Structure 1
Amino acid sequence: MADSPPPPPPPPAPTTITALSDDLLLEIFLRLPSFTSLARAAFACRAFLHAVRSSPAFRRRFRELRARPLLALFLLPYMRAIVPAATGTPTSSTKPPTKAPATARPSRVVCVHRESAWAWARVAVFSSHTMEWQLVLPPEMDTGGALDDTTGSVVNGIVCWVHKGKGCILALNTVTFQFSRMDLPPPLKVPSSRLQLGHTKDGEFCVVSVLQCMLSVWLWAADGDGVERFMPHKTFSLRANVSEVINEADVHIRPMAVINGFVYLSLTVAPFGDPRAPQLFVSFCLETAKVNLLHKESKRIFCPVDPYIKVSWPSSLIHCKVSLCLCI
């Protein structure tokens, strides 16, 4: 009599999400679309939260691939804030601005004053150590001149103002309180171009210019003769990218901020279009040329807008004894 066949092996036990290693979990989390979705996933259970908290390398990589979250839009001069709704779509020799050293020093109050539209800014610094005011004046500029009627940008501890009339950037180091001048190249002196100062993912100081749907990036670096100046870095045509989020033939694009290699842009129908047209706020990655919609207003905002962008990780997603006690 023939032997009966052996019984089939038992089916393998199902693999659950909790059985995945931290490395596999982080590979999955790396594909999430935004910081908001990552936070939701991390707080789903203790295992997910532990995986995110225990890996600084993962958090660094996640941030490198995505724009910083847009927390609010400040309307000037009213200082009213618009908080975007959370969405699933993510949303002598002149020295270049370098990050100010983190040294302990007395607290200081800085006041910037302009008596008229044509006058240079004057900076007054009050020190809690000496209890005195110190007046800081910018360098003389030929026959004088005016700062552009814009708010100064803060880049790595340096306050910078653009002066297209003189074709330069006036920079104030907030540690030494010394002014320096950085000359703009001719293509950036076009009156109709819109400039924004910031830094790349590698921390290099840069100027971003938008003119007729063309976005240009210039880096402050030494040329072949060792002279420091703005050098052309990259140029992008925004026409195809913008069409992904707004279907309009004539779109007005304004750069608002440049942080860690991402340009934050405001998109509206051209000035002579319908005032009831929506206004969109997007991020543009200088490495991948990818556009992400951050927020959409139902109608155009007719005053200057400054974005408030989160630049660091929330403590609840960083592994430490205090956050573990509070959040688990």
Structure 2
Amino acid sequence: MRWKGRRQSSNIEDRRGQGGGMFPGGFGRGGGPRIRLPAGRAGRAGGGGLSGIILLVVLFFVLRACGIDPLEMLAGGPAGGPTIQQTAPTSSAASDEMTQFVSVVLAETEDVWNGIFQAQGLNYEEPSLVLFGGQVRSACGSASSASGPFYCPGDKKVYLDTSFFDQLARQFGAAGDFAQAYVIAHEVGHHVQNITGILPRFNEMRQRMSRVEANEMSVRVELQADCFAGIWARYTAQKGLLEEGDIEEALNAANQIGDDTLQRRTQGYVVPDSFNHGTSEQRRTWFMRGLKNGRLTDCDTFNEPV
């Protein structure tokens, strides 16, 4: 992808070097990008009990004895509050090539979706993209890098630990800058779903669904985000930014993080009822559909067989 020298988005939050704060936590492991829906209050607070409170009190005094002010560590406030200032940056964002790449890809998605929305007389609310390392807090709770990239509709932000790109190349065999761009475009696709009302409707409906039904609906949500990523790739190609092999990189990434491929790799067999992202073939198919047609109406995964 010819990205160097292109406009960089200003909607980047670099939280690398901060960690996840005092209360790191994971959302489970998985190989591909995903949505994090805001959890209920009980779901976030459970499990600590009296022993957890005692542990926090002991930790408070241990940190004070070491000359560390726990209150200062919590100065960033709860998820969704003011951003914690990075205290010990190792390099400036301007000199970080990965930051530049991510910023350019996000800027390209802004250009495409602003244009699409404006053509329909609508305003596109641009998302922020949060770079983090290890753990992060969002309006959807806490997550670790093991969760993979995700979108949080609660704060309308994409969260990305760029070490996932190394994992994508080494563990999943999906190297290349356009494979990485596809991941970002997919997550931005979830943002488009959020601001157009698709994700809120899904979140409402899933409360009344069985687990199998919710998984089936989740597959349709994810495949639509793949189709939206394909639309972005189409307009990016029209700008002359794609190089030979770029589309193949994106298709390979979609193939490698299909539910069936991941399950065969990790457990040796597949359980279709547990799919929540779509098979490798489905993910490739819907990405290519967006790429070929470039129309939102052709990404209706909810009223067509997937």
Q: TM-score, normalised by structure 1?
A: 0.22
Greater relative contact order, per chain length (Cα 8 Å cut-off, separation 6+): 2
Structure whose CA Rg is larger: 1
More helix as a share of residues: 2
Q: TM-score, normalised by structure 2?
A: 0.23
